[in-house]
Amino acid sequence: MKNLLIFIICLLASHSSSSQNTVGTLLNTDAAYNAYTLFAPTTSNQTYLINNCGQIINQWTSNFLPGASVYLLENGNLLRTAKITNSDISLGGLGGKIELFDWDNNLLWEYTYSSPLMSQHHDIYPLPNGNILMLAVTTLTNSEAIQAGRNPSRIPENKLYNEQILELQPIDNTEANIVWEWNIKDHLVQDFDFNKDNFGSVKNSPQLLDINFLNNGNGEANWLHFNSIQYNESLDQIIMSSRHLSEIYIIDHSTTTAEAATHSGGIYAKGGDFLYRWGNPKAYNCGTDDDQKLFSQHYPHWIPDGLNDAGKIMIFNNGNTLGYSSVDIINPDQSSPGVYYFDSVNGYSPLDQEWQYQAPNQTNFFSELMSSGQRLQNGNTLICDADSGYFFEIDSDRNIVWEYINPDSTIEILTQGDTPSNNLVFRAIKYSLDYPAFIGRDLTPGTTIEANSNLFCNILNVVDYALKESQIKIHPNPVLDYFTIEALKEIKKVEIYTISGQLLKVIDNTNTVNIEDLSSGIYLIKINTDDGSITRKIIKN
């Protein structure tokens, strides 16, 4: 039994008589997944953890804007990227630093990966072993790019960025050991110049990246623009996303660093080559423009075990050139776990998305930049429309059941009545109320980020399990009309809530509770004594 688990259930009971909110929580229904949402506005040095009512559960302050992604670790620490100045490397999502804060906003560790020839950018990922995957770029000179097979007429900036992934083992306060490394420059192919490196058949090398495929780009240094890395522990694979080429890629993480630079080794025997790619098959001569499915996408990731569509891949498809966005789920064909089918005619499966969310009026949902989708424990899906700072949650029927607009903008904290602007958010993630980071924490909600919130929330607050299970007995359970509570201490109050947290009734100073007026179903019973409180479920027949 958990010694301490505090949770907040936030429910929209009604709106006040004043005007509708323009920022903060706009909608919170009974169907929303009650959890805490973590986000870091791109123009702010703040990271926020809020409940469904928009009230601050915790807040962290850095000296730097986010380099993009942030993560709440199971021990309550905050892992974040940080943006530092680099006049030699120019790309959106540039970071250069990683920071680790404890729950109380104390800086525990920081690591800088930035120089005229390299920089961390966009994303990181906390591994189960305590190490950190880091996405970065390094610089290839003009001559190095030509030697790798790039058409010399397609190097307008006289350099190219090589995308790399490093695995860091944090040490001391500001250092890290690099224990694993992968570079895209080791996995290229080109059919432009047989006298240069990487010459071969693009059509026959889907496991390699064509250095001359620009997807209608002009060959700028930032020709790939990787914007995300995520990890699958059971497969020991990494998935990443190239915005500019409109493709996602999966590689093997089980290799050594030496193997990762070759075409063999690791549990999948392909070294650091692509195990899978999807979204734009013309990139490897297996399709045309009509076969393209992804358009400047972000945040491809495996849906975690235990959730609807577990093991499938969810992607925020920004839809640039289409003018509308979608959240897509694909389910690649596999001969065994992590071994993906390839068809020499059609490329990698599937031919189309298995599930997709678009707005009923497609153009009403469009985020040109960043953004994310997340499948939740109750089957809902959380969506972050990044360039509007707008988070919304849909149920399995695609109804919107929760809405929030980030009020932390470039200039100031917005208030009700303000028109939201300059409030971009790279990604928003909900953490369940039983996430280990919250055990033993003071989760008493504070104020909302914005002033003058017009939303009224009923809150089931501070269920602390201070009482031992053996001190409280409820019988019968299931219940017909009455139940009796046996307790070692005098019962001061019994509160009855719906399973979603709406308060139904309060009964003072009694051990026998009448619920014959309630409909059949499951309810939460909060029992309060002088020694504390405990919440139990009952079933009403």
- 342 burial level (CB within 10 Å; 0-12, 13-18, 19+): middle
Give the Cα separation of 448 and 227 in Å (integer). 30
Buried b / exposed e along 28-60 (16+ C-beta atoms within 10 A): bbebbbbbbbbbbbbbbbbbbbbbbbbbebbeb
Sheet with 96-101, strands from edge to edge, namely 70-72, 78-83, 96-101, 107-112
How far apart CA 75 and CA 79 sit, in angstroms, is 11
Exposed, middle or buried by CB within 10 Å (0-12, 13-18, 19+), for 149?
A: buried
In a domain, 19, yes or no: no
Q: Is residue 258 part of a domain?
A: no
- How big is the CA angle at 366 (ends 361 and 369), to the nearest 5 degrees? 175
Evaluate whether residue 350 is within a structural domain: no
Compute the distance between CA of residue 511 and CA of residue 251 in angstroms, rounded to an integer.
60
Domain that holds residue 502: 469-540
Which residue, 250, 247, 248, 281, is CA-closest to 351?
281
Tens-place pLDDT, residues 52-97: 999 999 999 999 999 999 999 999 999 999 999 999 999 999 999 9
How far apart CA 51 and CA 47 sit, in angstroms, is 14
Q: For the whole model, what pTM was predicted?
A: 0.85
Q: What single-letter DSSP state applies at residue 153?
A: G
Number of folded domains that form the chain: 1
- Give the residue with greater pLDDT, 284 vs 464: 284
Query: How far apart are the C-alpha atoms of 450 and 316, rounded to whole Å?
Result: 28
Q: Is residue 497 part of a domain?
A: yes
* Angle at the Cα of 128 from the Cα atoms of 124 and 132, rounded to 5 degrees: 25
Q: Which two tokens stand for residue 358?
A: 């678009």
Q: Is 310 a domain residue?
A: no
Higher pLDDT, 536 or 83: 83
Is 394 part of any domain?
A: no
Q: Decide if 314 is inside a domain.
A: no
Interval 136-187: pLDDT, tens: 999 999 999 999 999 999 999 999 999 999 999 999 999 999 999 999 999 9
Residue 525 belongs to a domain: yes
192-221: burial string, b at 16+ Cβ within 10 Å, e else: bbeeeebeeebeebbbbbbbbbbbeeebbb
Strand (E) or helix (H) holding 352 = none
Return the CATH number at 526: 2.60.40.3080
pLDDT at 234: 98
